[in-house]
Structure 1
Amino acid sequence: MAAAARPPGDRPTLRDVAGRAGVSAMTVTRVLRDDPRVSPATREKVLAGISELGYRPNTVARSLRLGRGSGLVGLVVTNLANPFYSRLALGVDSVVGQQGLKTVIGNTRQDLDNERELVADLVGRRVDGIVVVPASGDQRHLAAAVDAGVPVVCASRPPVGFDADHVLVDDFGGARNATARLLAAGHRRVGFLGPPAAVYTSEERLRGYREALAAAGVRADERHVRQGQQDVEAAMNAASELLALAEPPTALFCSNNRNTIGAFRAVTAAGQDVALAGFDDFELADVLGLPLTVQAYDSDELGSEAGRLLIDRMRPTGPAPPPRRVVLPTRAVHYGGWPRPRGTA
């Protein structure tokens, strides 16, 4: 018999299934638990009722009644439009999924208030743990989550004001190496493009850029530095400003993939012979048609490592270790050769 129409949003209950199958609610529960004491005939009636009604068990509520967690892990990131975060999410999910956990993703848009609300909501939903890319240095809400018994792991940016496991990339060393290669190719006017200065990764990569200039005896020119660009369009506009200067940079170091793509568009539009170096690899980098090198790393592994640290905190097998810090190395990937700086033979 076809199931009766139900009002929109009215989900069938366990008692509805019991009534359809002509058994008790406890018998339905036993079927869901695969209890061997249930006869095959009864099991078949219950499963038929579940199928006809479209019943889905509320696993979160069941886990809470049993004194367990929700079976959910929160992942809080700053910019879902950036492919880096999709790879990070895949890495986290691949690890926690092996433990029977589901990943819930929240996007803060680099806004601290959004992050506070997301974290409070996740804690209220009794998630088993949280992996977060912090939006700022004000992380009191993350410390409060830890105090509430929810393990927190920071990814890409370190914890501030409290202790927590965290996974970072060698932002300083990678930026220094990328800038040093531009300088070794003969460039002396090297520009910098990056996201807001308050972002840890941006500051570390700017520090690496400046360190490479200082080591080469090149004076840093603040007119060649642009920070604050979080999307491709803003990066393209910032790069266009640099290229329009009376003495424009002959090379640009871009501290994330959004800025690299924006710089590429600006250089192409200007028709200028400008070398590009970036941080973060990205799809189609090899077919852009301009010389480019990027500092690459495995963003999936960044997420996987964060997931492993979180699982260790959630399901310890021994005494709790002190907070751990993992730093992933970067490597240079070249797409084409370097153009020579202007004025060279």
Structure 2
Amino acid sequence: MTTRKPTMADVARHAGVSLKTVSRVVNQEPHVRASLQQRVHDSISALGFRRNEAAARLARGATMLTLGLVMENISNEFYARLAAAVEAAAAEHEALVVFGSYEERPDKERMLIESMHARGVDALIVVPSAADHSWLAEHGRPRTVFVDRVPRGLDRADVVMLDDEHGGRTATAHLLAHGHRRIALISDDDGLSSVHHRARGYRAALREAGAAADEALVVRGVFDPGRVSYEVGRLLDLPGPPTAFFATNNRAAIGVLQALRERPERPAYVGFDDFALAGLFSPGVTVVRYDIDRLARGAVELLLDPVREPRRITVPVELVARGSGELPPVV
């Protein structure tokens, strides 16, 4: 049985004020006494009321609420799944979503954000690049929530992120528990907060196990699976090669798989981000995964929440063992 969502009329009854007063407070209209505002906000919190932004716009004669989603590359499975999840979460609020990919180009990211703003997009969800985003604070813009990464240069921002450091620590500890000490790190741009925190978790797990990170086994700034494949081969050709790999995103995990297809070695490996075919390989790919619907829903709900104080929401992660992370070191 579905629980009925509280309405503004419910808030008015709970607060002992008129429906018009609740509407004025929710819509942040002026000339409402502070004491009445506080009563309404207290009732909103007590009842768990959330304004339907789309209905509010339609009541004012405006068009349907439109959300913009700006991300790195929709051809990547992570971003395709995120886009679908954001669209589903927005549909629950009768909102439309428009998409744009900046393809690892910060100049295109800025162009997309400014273009969406100019075309009347009501609010933005942005997976930020590693570039400085302080320019966003310099002029008015639609309300923005950042997903997966903390934007550089913005001290006050709404962010929905993964527990990346815990994920990096968990992946590395899993490999250590299966006897590995020479564990390579294959990572994206370390200027991205998600990548930086996953790498920090990797180093923390090694340090706690008394196996300090060997920087010769750390690869940074690789985006393409083909480049990852080359770097994996290079590391395996070292005089003291790694016996295991931690790949900090799904592209890196695919690059590891490509490299091992041509190699006689069978190192262990753990990826960050699940992907559709991870369970079909032999062995299956052990990954750190998370609920992408929860990530998307958190972003949409932050956008539509009338509370304006910046907040950060952390989505938990978990390790899924499928075989690749459980291979023992070959000495």
* 1:125 CA drift (Å): 0.7
SS in 1 for 2:129: coil
* CA deviation map 1:68-98 (0-9, x unaligned): 3663211000122211111111121112222
1:191-340 mapped onto 2 (5 Å cutoff): 191-290=184-283, 292-312=285-305, 316=306, 320-336=307-323, 338-340=326-328
Structure 1 Cα separation of the partners of residues 262 and 316 of structure 2:
34
Amino acid across the alignment from 2:330: R
1:45-64 mapped onto 2 (5 Å cutoff): none
Is this contact kept in 1: 2:128–2:146, CA < 8 A? yes
The aligned residue for residue 103 of structure 2 is: 109
The aligned residue for residue 67 of structure 2 is: 73
Amino acid across the alignment from 1:186: G
Is this contact kept in 2: 1:76–1:132, CA < 8 A? yes
The aligned residue for residue 128 of structure 2 is: 134
* 1:216 CA drift (Å): 0.5
Gaps of 5+ in 1: 1-62
* 1:67 CA drift (Å): 6.8
Asked which structure has the greater CA Rg, the reply is 1
123 and 69 in structure 1: CA distance in 2 versus 1, 3 angstrom threshold: farther
Amino acid across the alignment from 1:173: H
Structure 1 stretch displaced more, 212-221 or 297-306: 297-306
Amino acid across the alignment from 1:341: P
Amino acid across the alignment from 2:323: G
* 1:241 CA drift (Å): 1.2
* 1:143 CA drift (Å): 2.5
Is this contact kept in 2: 1:295–1:333, CA < 8 A? yes
Aligned pair partner of 1:151 in 110, 128, 143: 143
* 1:148 CA drift (Å): 1.7
* 1:164 CA drift (Å): 2.1
Is this contact kept in 1: 2:64–2:94, CA < 8 A? no
SS in 1 for 2:223: coil
Structure 2 Cα separation of the partners of residues 89 and 116 of structure 1:
19
Amino acid across the alignment from 2:149: R
Is this contact kept in 2: 1:278–1:293, CA < 8 A? yes
Structure 2 Cα separation of the partners of residues 231 and 67 of structure 1:
47
SS in 1 for 2:262: helix
Structure 1 Cα separation of the partners of residues 141 and 105 of structure 2:
24
* 1:240 CA drift (Å): 1.3
* 1:322 CA drift (Å): 1.7
* 1:149 CA drift (Å): 4.8
Gaps of 5+ in 2: 1-56
Which consecutive aligned stretches of 4+ in structure 1 deviate over 6 angstroms post-superposition?
A: none
Is this contact kept in 2: 1:69–1:127, CA < 8 A? no
* 1:299 CA drift (Å): 1.6
TM-score, normalised on structure 2? 0.78
Structure 1 Cα separation of the partners of residues 63 and 320 of structure 2:
43
* CA deviation map 1:175-233 (0-9, x unaligned): 10110110111111100101112222111111111111111101211111111121221
Matched, 1:341 2:326: no
Is this contact kept in 2: 1:275–1:292, CA < 8 A? no
1:179-190 mapped onto 2 (5 Å cutoff): 179-190=172-183
Amino acid across the alignment from 1:339: L
Structure 2 Cα separation of the partners of residues 69 and 221 of structure 1:
56
TM-score, normalised on structure 1? 0.75
SS in 2 for 1:283: coil
Aligned pair partner of 1:92 in 86, 90, 100: 86
220 and 340 in structure 1: CA distance in 2 versus 1, 3 angstrom threshold: same
* 1:142 CA drift (Å): 2.9
Is this contact kept in 2: 1:179–1:212, CA < 8 A? yes
